[in-house]
Structure 1
């Protein structure tokens, strides 16, 4: 049971120290099943998998000469960059890897079906169509040196996704799992030439000057129209905020923390100009919706990787709580956080505020109710009705460093009833604290929200007649 660490660590094979006999991927699925988590398994499209040679290295110093960096525990393992700074090319991929095709993927899925059943009967449901393929020529240059093109992405997607659907027609696929902004619009072949490549992107221009994601959706829609088989269930894109210091384990200084909290607007706000090299509105979720509506209706939305960083700091918790609220309000179907927080970190409490705020399994609602703030950047609000008892749940996030008093107006409340209140804040990073009940009138209530705080208000169902509701399922990950 072997994995290759690619550019993350010297393109080296590392064997797994499994606790039980069998593939490491089975341990992954077993753990998910113990915690009631849906598994998202990545299937390789790149055409290679690690061989069984432990500590095999793609760029042997004995074979390819001196290199800039050497792995400290394996002095024959280099980083693939010569001492003069040029990259080594022409290496033999078979030093570390075996060539594979769709049959490899099918055999893997058949193994999982044999152990867990099909997706329809409780087995593995989600399959990623590889990971960030436009970066292969950098992250996996030992086996895929050539930059990926529009056509190769389409061809590999069709070849391998068809194999997945043949092995388990009930499985759900996600793609293209692109890394970020440039990967949404251009291919690796476009930016290969460097310079001001965006002014004359060779690959995109050869495909009608259509942005990559739109062209990708068009091609897969055409395949379904020709064959009757849908190969792509979710449009999957990754997003990491590009502003300086945001995506980091460190909270950063006050300016960085404020930028982290502002930058969540790139997920939805057409008026927010991204404060990074992107320097234009990202508005990712509305953009994804538009791409799907125009090019492949019926495709669901996924953000397969994201992180606003600082999971060990209150600013990371506030950003994470804000992001979860945005996902629900905007109708994101699936999202997975890269690098989950430790159980005691503030970032974990952001999830608990939605999924287990009282320690007894009580949750935020799953049927979205329209909610808006006069200043969403400072005091964000999200609302949903809970099906188990019809209570109205409000998540109110004070992203500022000062206390804010606000009137919360509610339409459709015909009777006054006291609300339960729970809060997580910088005042106590180790627990979600129950608060005194909040008096509520038929028109709402007024309350003070402490600085850097997440407040959950639970209004009982009596007297609620809420308009403009949208069911938005929440999946535990």
Structure 2
């Protein structure tokens, strides 16, 4: 049956090591007889959203280095936050305490709050911000410490804050939970006007979303488990109707205050959030009613997320305003030990790498209490298509663990490749790595592989492996210069040699190779270049436990522009025009050439399809033609020429 995520309770499950058939060469390199990689540049493509490379609370130096696209201010502590007082309630994470923020000058609040400081960093690094807004209806009542379960008021408890011994965990010594406490011990009621006030403050400080201000707002954080995390103010699980009504009120307030801002909801904690309300999760955990949850039964047997999406669509149809932009659900793999910071034993590390399949693989039965295919991103897309088309997909918290280890880095690199390939629209890693952690290098491989801003492509291309579980491959073209980038993750402890074929281009092209592996955990290494044969193929060895990126410059030249034509020439000049050239990526510009007698010169360049030639001599005949040029420097064939004679 469903259990809380592994951050709170260990889920059931065991990892199994799977044997594979390989051929070992004289150099000790394993070449699997069935292992090969293939890229098809003629197949359908789709954009990769830059927002899939986001993090929660990333440190400034790393965010600046990576040019981090988006950063989230989230977690349990943000559900109850008072921006006017810069005070948050830490909920079950820390004894249900109100704790004032570290603002430099409380007399200037709300200016300078911790939420302002968060956005300030993002402004400095050019990162879009996601702030979390409360739907729960409560916020800290004063800028001072207060306890949800005071020992003096509610009696002895199993655990108390060592620095504030009157603050307990709300559990009596006999293990029963304290109930009937007063929410006003810590909190005060808030609603839509509070949201409008906060967004007004943010717009005054940073501009609105359309003018560089805060771009995204989470509609709370994991409201389906408030009954656990915030039970001092929300002891009963949120129902279908409650979530709809609260979303209508708060998301409606967001759109009224800042119409261009994007909202993300319902921000469920994980697998159970897709089908069960908070009320059903709480009720069935006590009664075992998983086969017929009462709240779902009262709503036609429709799973919670699908019902929620349909209700958001109904709001737009009734009011003409979209109040939900992203369908957001968190994901923490439930396999035993996977989300731990400790990489664990060999079986756990192998399981961690397999659990990335929960994001996309309909044939993978999750090795945990879930015990069925998750297929998360396609599943979320199917829910959207059926219930609220046009809604984007977000995972604003996920973590596959062990980011301080090479195993965690390999897993994270695999996850980032999957997010792009499967068409997620936004994702932010929870508990991001420090700059020196191997997990940070997984992000560098996509966002700064060469230390000079080199990035993985932004247009996904068809890339397949005969065994994604051993040697995963992700491919993308970079729209800025047409380069093909291929990310290959060797998830095994053995060097693997495999053929790589590219359909559609690359004959004889040379590619750069950048690699992160156990050979050097402190840097990405430039490995020897590789060269494709005239069939667009090569055979390459990928070291054990490594992430390799192949970067192949665009080799496809533009087509010829349409025939150049000339306007009426003057004695010293003429204006030429032509129809655009085609290119596999895009035309960067045109070079205009001139011949007079035996002299050929380039007379200029332009990004348009018109060019005014000057400095001609009266009474002479000239020939002009145009060649297209792409961002990689490839130059196409000349247009059909045009002859011009200047009048005397």
TM category (shorter chain) comes to: over 0.9
CA shift at 1:189, angstroms? 1.5
Query: Which of residues 401, 419, 433 is equivalent to 2:525?
Result: 433
Would you say the 8 A contact 1:412–1:464 is kept in 2? no
The counterpart of 2:240, out of the listed 136, 150, 162, is 150
Q: 1:331 aligns with which of 417, 423, 428?
A: 423
**In the alignment, which residue of structure 1 is the partner of 2:551?**
458
1:45 equivalent to 2:135? Answer yes
Tell me, in whole angstroms, the C-alpha distance in 2 between the residues paired with 1:414 and 1:398. Answer: 23
Residue of structure 2 in register with 1:6 after alignment: 91
Query: Residues 464 and 277 from structure 1, CA distance in 2 versus in 1: closer, same or farther, beyond 3 angstroms?
Result: farther
> What is the match of residue 17 of structure 1?
102
Tell me which residue corresponds to 1:224: 316
Q: Is 1:447 aligned to residue 540 of structure 2?
A: yes
Q: Larger Cα Rg: Structure 1 or Structure 2? A: 2
Deviations 1:398-420 (A, max 9, x none): 01111110111101115312110
Normalised by the size of structure 1, how large is the TM-score? Answer: 0.96
1:182 to 234, 254, 272: 272
* Counterpart among 171, 176, 180 of residue 86 in structure 1: 176
With 20-29 and 135-144 compared, the bigger mean Cα shift is at 20-29
Consecutive unaligned residues of structure 2, counting only runs of 5 or more, are 1-85, 559-583, 586-648
Q: 2:304 & 2:550 partners in 1: Cα distance? A: 43
- Partners of 2:208 and 2:102 lie apart in 1 by 27
Matched, 1:30 2:115: no
> What is the deviation of 1:463?
3.8
The C-alpha deviation readout for 1:96-153, integer Å capped at 9, x for no partner, is 1111111001100000000111101110010000010010011001111111100100
Query: Counterpart of 2:234 in 1: which secondary structure?
Result: coil
What's the CA shift for 1:53?
Answer: 4.3
- The CA distance in 1 between the partners of 2:262 and 2:556, in whole Å, is 41
Deviations 1:209-257 (A, max 9, x none): 0000000001111111111111100000000000000001110111000
Question: 2:305 aligned with 1:213, yes or no?
Answer: yes
Question: Which whole-Å CA distance do the structure 1 matches of 2:507 and 2:352 have between them?
Answer: 39
Look up the SS of the partner of 1:235 in the other structure: strand
3-state DSSP of counterpart to 2:551: strand
TM-fit CA distance, 1:464: 8.0
Please tell me whether the aligned partners of residues 138 and 233 of structure 2 are also in contact (alpha carbons under 8 angstroms).
Answer: yes
Residue number in structure 1 paired with 2:466: 374
- The corresponding residue for 2:487 is 395
User: Does the 8 A contact of 1:415 with 1:464 survive in 2?
Assistant: no
Native 8 Å contact 2:485 2:549 kept in 1: yes
- Is 1:163 the equivalent of 2:253? yes
Return closer, same or farther for 1:420/1:249 CA change in 2, 3 Å cut-off: same
Alpha-carbon shift at residue 38 of structure 1 (Å) = 0.9
CA distance in 2, matches of 1:51, 1:414: 64
Matched positions, count: 467
Cα distance in 1 for partners of 2:171, 2:423 equals 44
Corresponding residue of 1:100:
190
User: In the alignment, which residue of structure 1 is the partner of 2:438?
Assistant: 346
RMSD of aligned residue pairs (Cα, Å):
1.3
Paired residue secondary structure (1:341): coil
The alpha carbon displacement at 1:192 in A equals: 2.8
Distance 1:164 1:378 in 2: 45
Q: Tell me by how many angstroms 1:19 deviates.
A: 4.1
Q: C-alpha offsets along residues 49-104 of structure 1, whole Å, 9 cap, x if unaligned? A: 11224221111111111111111011111111111111111111111111111100
Q: Tell which has more relative contact order, 1 or 2 (C-alpha 8 A, sep 6+).
A: 2
How far does residue 196 in structure 1 lie from its aligned partner after superposition?
2.3
1:475 aligned residue: none
Give me the TM-score of the superposition, normalised by structure 2: 0.71
Kindly indicate which of the two structures has a greater share of residues assigned to strand.
Answer: 2
Give 1:357's aligned residue: 449
Q: CA deviation at 1:183?
A: 1.2
Query: Quick check: 1:53–1:96 contact (8 Å CA) kept in 2?
Result: no
* CA apart distance, 1:4: 0.8
CA contact (8 A) 1:371 1:381 kept: yes
Q: What is the CA-CA distance between 1:200 and the residue it aligns to?
A: 1.9
Task: Determine the C-alpha separation between the residues in 2 that align with 1:140 and 1:130.
Answer: 12
For residue 218 of structure 2, the aligned residue among 128, 138, 152 is 128
Is this contact kept in 1: 2:227–2:282, CA < 8 A? no
Are the structure 2 counterparts of residues 411 and 464 from structure 1 closer, same or farther at C-alpha, using a change threshold of 3 Å? farther
Measured against aligned partners, the alpha-carbon deviations of 1:405-460 in whole angstroms (never above 9, x if no partner) come to 01111011153121100000011111000011111123221100011000000111
